[in-house]
Amino acid sequence: MKALLLDGKEVSARLKEKVAVQVDRLKENGIYPRLVVILVGDDPASAVYVRNKARTSEKLGIQSETITLKSTINEEELLAYIAKLNRDDTVHGILVQLPLPQHINAEKIIEAISPDKDVDCFHPRNVGLLMLGKPYLLPCTPAGIVEIFKYYKIETSGKHVVILGRSNIVGKPMANMLVQKAAHANATVTLAHSRTKNIKALCRQADILIAAIGKAEFVTADMVNGDAVVIDVGINRVEAPDAPRGYKLSGDVDFVSVSEKAAAITPVPGGVGPMTIAMLMQNTVTAAKHLSNFREKDKTEK
Ligand code: GUN
């Protein structure tokens, strides 16, 4: 393999250590960070993600609760749960796992979550603040990718970043973060999607290629240049009759061929995925600080 492996497990471990320190400091001050995750229905992938979030919270000393609701729940009932959590001062973070069943309007649900507790950074107020370069909480996956850049000292300033996929969860907020006039940003961003013409040629122009398009092994070696940093956000279940579960997880990048050509690459699993969870933990702590008006003591203060 030619490419440098960007190890999300290692970067996320460092980040989680920092979060745990902040949790301890909050607890010394009587503040117990608490995250509530709502899972509607029984989508198996969502169940795995939610379990990982709860497990990581507990490891870092963040109280976590998962509310599991039947897929038949109606919008009003779900809104009532959210209203209750919004009012509950012991709750600092609220996350409703997506996707939601068809009959529930996800936009309405996202807007009902208090922006102060919106640890996904999906609420229009938080999206707006991010766009204006004045973020409160950060979108977990894009911010996790920036952490990988920081850790491996991957320069973004002046670089051409091509993002594949315009979702509200990854593509759009990632573009927003990287175009800011700020440290670890200042990039020239192209946001490509299903209607983009000559997508292969465009990808070859990327210094940094971020694949978040939801198509298994979409990015092949002929689409990257030899100096490119390739970030794979995809987690696709691909049939694999020989695998124990009958499927394997595959990214949006054809790892085998691209890792022989690119300069650096994230694996799946063990790349972006662990970063998303670590950033969620950081957001929960940030929200807890904000909601309890906690200020980190300046190091020069006694
Ligand atoms: N579904 C897939 N990714 C996410 C995420 O980051 N947050 C939520 N709430 N749902 C998701």
Other beta carbons less than 10 A from residue 133's beta carbon: 13
pLDDT in tens, 170-202: 999 999 999 999 999 999 999 999 999 999 999
Is a pLDDT exceeding 90 seen at residue 295? no
Separation in Å, CA 227 to CA 251, 267, 293: 20, 17, 45
pLDDT band at 296 (very low <50, low <70, confident <90, very high): confident
Q: Please report the pLDDT score of residue 297 as a whole number.
A: 72
Residues 6+ apart with CB under 8 A from 198: none
Between CA 40 and CA 48, with CA 42 as vertex, the angle to 5 degrees is: 95
Question: Which atom of ligand 1 is nearest to 99's Cα?
Answer: 1
Which of 2-26 are b and which e, b meaning 16 or more Cβ less than 10 Å from the residue's Cβ? ebeebbbeebbeebbeebbebbeeb
In the chain, which segments carry CATH 3.40.50.10860?
Answer: 30-115
What is the β-pairing status of strands 236-239 and 247-250? antiparallel
CA distance 6 to 241: 29
Check if 97 has its Cβ closer than 6 Å to any atom of ligand 1.
yes
What sign does the dihedral 34-35-38-44 (CA atoms) show?
negative
DSSP character at residue 97: P
Q: Which CATH class is domain 140-273?
A: alpha beta
Centroid of ligand 1 to alpha carbon of 187 (angstroms): 25
Catalogue the active-site residues. 53, 97, 120
Centroid of ligand 1 to alpha carbon of 96 (angstroms): 8
pLDDT in tens, 103-124: 999 999 999 999 999 999 999 9
pLDDT in tens, 219-240: 999 999 999 999 999 999 999 9
Can you name the residues that pair with 64 across neighbouring β-strands?
Answer: 35
pLDDT in tens, 278-287: 999 999 999 9
Mean pLDDT of the chain: 97
pTM of the model: 0.97
CA distance 48 to 69: 15
pLDDT band at 299 (very low <50, low <70, confident <90, very high): low
Ligand 1 binding pocket mutation candidate from 40, 46, 49, 100 (most atoms within 8 A of CB): 49
What is the β-pairing status of strands 188-192 and 236-239? unpaired
Ligand 1 binding pocket mutation candidate from 43, 50, 52, 97 (most atoms within 8 A of CB): 97
Place of tokens 């609220």: 94
Check if 140 has its Cβ closer than 6 Å to any atom of ligand 1.
yes
Strand-by-strand arrangement of the 63-69 sheet: 63-69, 34-40, 93-96
Instruction: Count Cβ atoms within 10 A of the Cβ of residue 286 and give its class: 0-12 exposed, 13-18 middle, 19 or more buried.
Output: buried
Separation in Å, CA 95 to CA 45, 66, 82, 234: 16, 10, 10, 21
Q: Please report the pLDDT score of residue 150 as a whole number.
A: 98
pLDDT in tens, 8-48: 999 999 999 999 999 999 999 999 999 999 999 999 999 99
Is a pLDDT exceeding 90 seen at residue 152? yes
pLDDT band at 65 (very low <50, low <70, confident <90, very high): very high
Check if 169 has its Cβ closer than 6 Å to any atom of ligand 1.
yes
Task: Tell me the fold of 30-115.
Answer: Rossmann fold (3.40.50)
In the chain, which segments carry CATH 3.40.50.720?
Answer: 140-273
Count of alpha carbons within 13 Å of 62, Cβ hemisphere only? 37
Check if 98 has its Cβ closer than 6 Å to any atom of ligand 1.
yes
The residue nearest atom 8 of ligand 1, judged by CA position, is 97
Closest CA to 38 of 116, 115, 119: 119
Centroid of ligand 1 to alpha carbon of 260 (angstroms): 31
